[in-house]
Structure 1
Amino acid sequence: MDFGLSTAQRERCDRILQEVGAHWAGRRPAGDPEQTRADFRTAGKLGLTGLCLPAGTGGGALGALDTALALEAFGRACPDTGLAFAVAAHLLACAVPVRDFASEEVRDELLRGLASGELVASNAMTEDGAGSDIGNIAVTAEPTGDGYLLNGEKSWASNAPIANLVVTYAVTDPRAGFLGQSAFAVPADLPGITLGEPLPKMGLAGCPAGRIRFENCHVPARYLLGEEGQGATIFQHSMAWERACLFGIYLGLMDRQLADCVRWAGERKQFGQPIGRFQAVSHRIAAMDQRLEAARLLLYRACWLLDQDEDDVSAVARSKVAVSEAAVANSLDALQLHGGLGYLAGGAEEQLRDTVPSTLFSGTTEIQRELIAKQLGL
């Protein structure tokens, strides 16, 4: 067991902290599609949209742990957690399955644009009747002579309103259950695709999310990921990367939040002394630190296992639950520590809104605990 970071890892994280801070320090969520596209191109220049993509495509060729460390630095330096989430979802839920399952032709077509941020990708799995129950998806992909005809609607897709590429999942064989689902990397400019307007939502304002409708959308066969019937396997593969690595941005948020709370407890005075001298305050901050460090260890271990090609579903699930629940609890504590100031727009209240959805996306906390229970034989 080696808990130290290498010189290369430390230097990479320091560079990201500096460069992200230079571009987005004091950044407020824009909610402007053109601004978000420009932010993706900036993230591409900083190497963030291609962290774990092959070097030959302009990516960083990083493993899971190094990707998570880079995203942690991104999340710490960028106050717009929604933007960090948008970039991480683009990379892990979309670019990773293209990297690992697309044909060589399609990888050559798409990966360079995904790595540079010129192409923005949206992951479209969730439907009105299929959230946690991904086996119940209703979007269909009817095989034709030279491709597939997609029909149906996805209800919740991050980056959808600005997407150039949609990684989606559809039923190719209704009789085969999970083995009848297939995955596709669909260019968003194909006829028959409608990208919805941004959905109003709580938190993560810097990441637009919307519905996606397919109406007799003809998708050439080359955009099939893997083989027919591999959709469920490909989705679980991408979710392992997302659940393990994406939550690095929340470690970064908690790092920034904790430092702010320590500073505030030393500056804010009540009853003639800094509030940090009151045990009620100092112990609350100590609990924040404990949650953060415990979550960090579980996330690093989950990513390390991915790098060892260990298929440990429960390790990833434990990490996802620990980080998301720590992020919500710490944000509640940060708001309480700042009192009325924490309730004002921005700062602690914004961090709370950005952390609440972390217990929902990439599989709810309840689904993660179900995965852990199944691994235990229950």
Structure 2
Amino acid sequence: MNFEWNEDQLELFEHALSFAKDLDFSKLSQGEFPKEAWRALGEFGYFGLPIDAKYSPAGSGFDILTTVKVLEGLGQGCTDTGILFAGAAHTFACAMPIYEHGSEQLKQKLLPLLASGEKIAANAISEAEAGSDIGKLTTKAWRDGDYYVIKGAKSYVTNGSVADYFVLYATTNEKFGYLGQTAFVVPADLPGIDVGNSYKKLGLNSAQLNQVFFDEVKVHKDYVLGSEGQGARIFAASMDWERCCLFALFIGVMQRDLERCIDYANTRKQGDKTISKFQAVSHRIADMEVRLQSARLLLYFAAWQKSQNVDNTKAVASSKLAISEAFVQSGIDSIRVHGALGYLQESGVDSSIRDALGSVLFSGTSDIQRELICNRLGLL
């Protein structure tokens, strides 16, 4: 078993870390989408990491392990996790379904724009009454000649207000349940689309989150991903990418938090000694390290299994569960290590717990991950 990264991968990690540290968010207002940072991430190559260069000059065609390592560097270096979250939704929940399931014509048309970040995509699946259960979508699509007509409303659409395209899932045959769902690419400028105001969230504030309404929107049949009825399978494949790659960013954030706690504990004095000498503090940091390394290894194993083209459902669910739960607990511990300072927003220590809390919900809740694990364990 080889636990080493090769020289190229380590160099890419260091480049990502250095690049991300230089991103400046100081002039942004609360909740504003950072357009300049998005452009910079596009030039860096974030959105094209796993996409073959034949479809875009911004594509790198990296394998998933290399992609994960680069994302870890971005997460560790970037102080605004929201823009990275928005980029992951764009890349892994939108561009990758097009890359893996779109027609050659659609790939040639859209991937150059998406891989560069020139155009932004949003994943439209969740609804007010259907989050984790794709078989219960109320958004409908029906055939009308060479077009499909889409009617319904989507909730919690990341990038909704800045999107040029939506990757949307709708019911095309109610009788077939999961096999009655179809995936579409929907240009955002089509008549009948109405985007609601961005939600005010607890964390990941620069990532825009919206409700989007589709009132009999006509989409050409060429914008179907795969074929009619393959939506559930396409969505599951995109979640495999997202649960590996999005959560690699959070491994990087936890690494940064750990290092900040170590630095603080080694310099903050209580009486005549640093607080690192108190076991209540040092043991808490040790727990942060154990959680981080455990989650990191689960992520690497899930990504390795995907690279071997084997069923990694249990591994990626275990990884996602471990990372999100560790992210929340480490965010709490980071505040406790910093004491009263950690409770102040101006310290920046609080941002991790606010960003972390959503991670137990999106990309499949922690409870859904446990269900997936139980299913693969053979529990009836």
Find the counterpart in structure 2 of residue 157 from structure 1: 157
Find the counterpart in structure 2 of residue 375 from structure 1: 376
Name the SS of the counterpart of 2:67 in structure 1.
Answer: helix
| Distance apart, 1:26 and its partner CA | 6.2
| Distance apart, 1:39 and its partner CA | 2.3
Unpaired runs of at least 5, structure 1: none
| Distance apart, 1:234 and its partner CA | 0.2
Q: CA, structure 1 residues 188+315, in 2 after alignment: closer, same or farther (shift >3 Å)?
A: same
Q: CA, structure 1 residues 117+269, in 2 after alignment: closer, same or farther (shift >3 Å)?
A: same
| Distance apart, 1:60 and its partner CA | 1.1
Q: CA, structure 1 residues 26+351, in 2 after alignment: closer, same or farther (shift >3 Å)?
A: farther
Size of the alignment, in residue pairs? Answer: 376
Find the counterpart in structure 2 of residue 24 from structure 1: 24
Which residues in structure 2 correspond to 1:351-366 (within 5 Å)? 351-366=352-367
More off after superposition, 320-329 vs 38-47: 38-47
| Distance apart, 1:134 and its partner CA | 2.0
Find the counterpart in structure 2 of residue 51 from structure 1: 49
Deviations 1:288-329 (A, max 9, x none): 000000000000110111111112211000000011111111
Q: 2:321 matched to 1:327? A: no
Contact 2:120/2:164, CA 8 A, preserved across alignment = yes
Q: CA, structure 1 residues 371+321, in 2 after alignment: closer, same or farther (shift >3 Å)?
A: same
Aligned partner of 1:357: which letter? G
Unpaired runs of at least 5, structure 2: none
Name the SS of the counterpart of 1:61 in structure 2.
Answer: coil
Aligned partner of 2:61: which letter? A
More off after superposition, 298-307 vs 54-63: 54-63
| Distance apart, 1:27 and its partner CA | 7.9
| Counterpart Cα distance in 1 of 2:295 and 2:29 | 26
Name the SS of the counterpart of 1:24 in structure 2.
Answer: coil
Which residues in structure 2 correspond to 1:238-249 (within 5 Å)? 238-249=238-249
| Counterpart Cα distance in 1 of 2:354 and 2:368 | 21
Give me the TM-score of the superposition, normalised by structure 2: 0.97
| Distance apart, 1:174 and its partner CA | 1.2
Find the counterpart in structure 2 of residue 312 from structure 1: 312
| Distance apart, 1:168 and its partner CA | 0.8
Runs of 4 or more, structure 1, over 4 Å off, are 25-30
CA RMSD of superposed structures (Å): 1.2
Name the SS of the counterpart of 1:204 in structure 2.
Answer: coil
Deviations 1:245-285 (A, max 9, x none): 11011011001000000000011000211000111111100
| Distance apart, 1:355 and its partner CA | 0.5
| Distance apart, 1:17 and its partner CA | 1.1
| Counterpart Cα distance in 2 of 1:54 and 1:27 | 35
Q: 2:262 matched to 1:258? A: no
Deviations 1:196-232 (A, max 9, x none): 2211111000111101110010001110000100000
Name the SS of the counterpart of 1:32 in structure 2.
Answer: coil
Contact 1:40/1:49, CA 8 A, preserved across alignment = no
Contact 2:21/2:79, CA 8 A, preserved across alignment = no
Q: 2:131 matched to 1:134? A: no
